[in-house]
Amino acid sequence: MPDMPAPLNILTWHVHGNYLYYLTQVPHHFWIVTKPGNPPGYAHPGTGFPWGANVHAISYDEVKGHDFDCVLFQSRGPYEQDVTGMLSPAQRDLPRVYIEHDPPQGHPTDTRHWFQEPAGTLVHVTAFNALMWDSGETPTRVIEHGVLPAEGVVYGGDTESGIVVVNHLVQRGRRLGADVFEQVRQQVPLDLIGMDAERAGGIGEVSNMQVQPFVAQYRFFFNPIRYTSLGLAVIEAMMAGVPVVGLATTEMTTLIKNEVTGYVDTRIDRLVDVMHTLLNNRELAREWGEAGRIEALRRFGIQRFVRDWMALFAEVTQSSPSRSTPRPLELAS
Q: pLDDT digits over 278-311, tens only?
A: 999 999 999 999 999 999 999 999 999 999 999 9
Judge whether 197 and 203 are in contact, CB under 8 Å.
yes
Pick the CATH number of 159-299 from 3.40.10.10, 1.10.3720.10, 3.40.50.2000, 3.30.460.10: 3.40.50.2000
Judge whether 113 and 172 are in contact, CB under 8 Å.
no
* Mean pLDDT of the 224-240 span: 97
Look at residue 322 and give its three-state secondary structure.
Answer: coil
- DSSP 8-class letter at 245: E
Query: How far is Cα 71 from Cα 79, in angstroms, rounded to an integer?
Result: 10
- What does the DSSP assignment read for 103-163? --SSSTTTPBPS---TTSEEEESSHHHHHHSB-TTS-EEE----BPPPTT------EEEEE
* Mean pLDDT of the 124-149 span: 98
Q: pLDDT digits over 101-136, tens only?
A: 999 999 999 999 999 999 999 999 999 999 999 999
Judge whether 126 and 140 are in contact, CB under 8 Å.
no
Q: Kindly tell me if the per-residue pLDDT of 2 is higher than 80.
A: no
Contacts 24+ apart (CB under 8 A), 264-273: 268/180, 268/183, 268/184, 271/184, 271/222, 271/245, 271/246, 271/247, 272/184, 272/187, 272/188
Judge whether 216 and 189 are in contact, CB under 8 Å.
no
pLDDT band with cut points at 50, 70 and 90 for residue 5:
confident
Domain 9-146+302-317 grouped into CATH 2.40.10:
no
Q: Kindly tell me if the per-residue pLDDT of 329 is higher than 60.
A: no
pLDDT at 319: 58
Look at residue 71 and give its three-state secondary structure.
Answer: strand
Q: pLDDT digits over 28-84, tens only?
A: 999 999 999 999 999 999 989 999 999 999 999 999 999 999 999 999 999 999 999
Look at residue 51 and give its three-state secondary structure.
Answer: coil
pTM for the whole structure: 0.92
The ranges assigned to domains in the chain are 9-146+302-317, 159-299
Judge whether 155 and 216 are in contact, CB under 8 Å.
yes
